[in-house]
Structure 1
Amino acid sequence: MDILDAIKRNGVRSILKQGLVFLGVLTSAFMVWKTISVFTNCESPAVVVLSGSMEPAFYRGDVLFLNNGRSPIQIGEIVVYKVAGKDIPIVHRVMRTHTDKETGKQYLLTKGDNNPVDDRGLYTKGQLWIEREAIFGRVYGFIPYVGMITIYLSDIPQLKYAVLFGLCLLSLFESE
């Protein structure tokens, strides 16, 4: 009943105004994200590390910042790539490179620092190298453990709904 009382006290106009402000904040955040994407030449300028395959360089929950320059990738660089048929990008280090003399295309062999073998088992069946075009971004910075929030929200759906419900209640009672 407290929610209905809050709606009666604040009025429908006030609640609609709060909704529009919230949509404005979301729209602004999206515009900033897309602007950063253009400047970094990455469809996603930040990713969260989801596994321990890159320990001790990066741990689960670290947020990595990416760019995607067109210069050739060097051995030792940490890249984020996508494999055909898999939705989740992989963050691993480049162990070897190969440039095709005829086409000039660069091919890469990657490996997680904490993995005993290279990534050929992760690639598409029969694939021995990752093409440069599959590289999603190159890591240039990180913030440790900040991404654990998103991991918890995706691993525990009830937590996501509890947070959303709490934010809704907070916005209703905040305007009192």
Structure 2
Amino acid sequence: MDLFGDLRRMNKRQLYYQVLNFAMIVSSALMIWKGLIVITGSESPIVVVLSGSMEPAFHRGDLLFLTNFHDDPIRAGEIVVFKVEGRDIPIVHRVIKVHEKENGNIKFLTKGDNNEVDDRGLYKEGQNWLEKKDVVGRARGFLPYVGIVTIIMNDYPKFKYALLAVMGAYVLLKRES
């Protein structure tokens, strides 16, 4: 397969068409993502479980669908995805305790189902409880192991770049019938 030879043989109009087609695919994906953010109320409507801390409920590689409607109260037993200051990657764990104050403020404590202790060791220093502002979303559904591709691409960056190169070459070189 001679990638550059194929590109040289393609006339300029075909090349522009293929590049435009690729740009439309990328922009459509971004629009769908932004639409999901608006519909679900979550800054990240889909996340991948990265560790085994929630087994047996969720396994590494499961794809979670999230919502984050601020009117819904947080309850014990609910599975939330939260961000902690100083950590880039959100955490998927279960709410084990909720403290509701008279003024309506809610604080809660989380724990992974497969962990021995609660998450206070994961929170920022001096923080013992999470608040609603820390929540990225709440698990509403999942697809088992679909996100394993994401984990493989993060664990093996060369695989990720090779896969992106193959997909990009396919879109650019694919001829319409």
TM-score by length of 2: 0.93
When residues 53 and 8 of structure 1 are mapped into structure 2, their CA distance, relative to the original with a 3 A threshold, is: same
When residues 4 and 71 of structure 1 are mapped into structure 2, their CA distance, relative to the original with a 3 A threshold, is: closer
**Which residue of structure 1 lines up, in the alignment, with residue 73 of structure 2?**
72
* Structure 2 unaligned residues grouped into runs of 5+: none
Q: Which secondary structure state, in structure 2, belongs to the residue aligned with residue 72 of structure 1?
A: coil
When residues 88 and 18 of structure 1 are mapped into structure 2, their CA distance, relative to the original with a 3 A threshold, is: same
**Which residue of structure 2 lines up, in the alignment, with residue 147 of structure 1?**
147
**Which residue of structure 1 lines up, in the alignment, with residue 100 of structure 2?**
99
- Give structure 1 regions of 4+ aligned residues with deviation exceeding 4 angstroms: none
Q: Distance in 1 between matches of 2:149 and 2:94?
A: 25
When residues 171 and 45 of structure 1 are mapped into structure 2, their CA distance, relative to the original with a 3 A threshold, is: closer
What CA deviation, in whole Å up to 9, does each residue of 1:110-135 have, x standing for no partner?
Answer: 00000000000001111111012111
* Number of aligned positions between the proteins: 175
Give the % identical residues.
53
RMSD: 1.6
**Which residue of structure 2 lines up, in the alignment, with residue 11 of structure 1?**
11
* Structure 1 unaligned residues grouped into runs of 5+: none
Q: Which deviates more from structure 2 when the two are superposed, residues 160-169 or residues 33-42?
A: 160-169
Could you tell me how far 1:29 is from its partner in structure 2? 1.1
- Conservation of the 8 A alpha-carbon contact between 1:6 and 1:173: yes
Q: Which deviates more from structure 2 when the two are superposed, residues 123-132 or residues 57-66?
A: 123-132
> Is it true that 1:32 corresponds to 2:20 in the alignment?
no
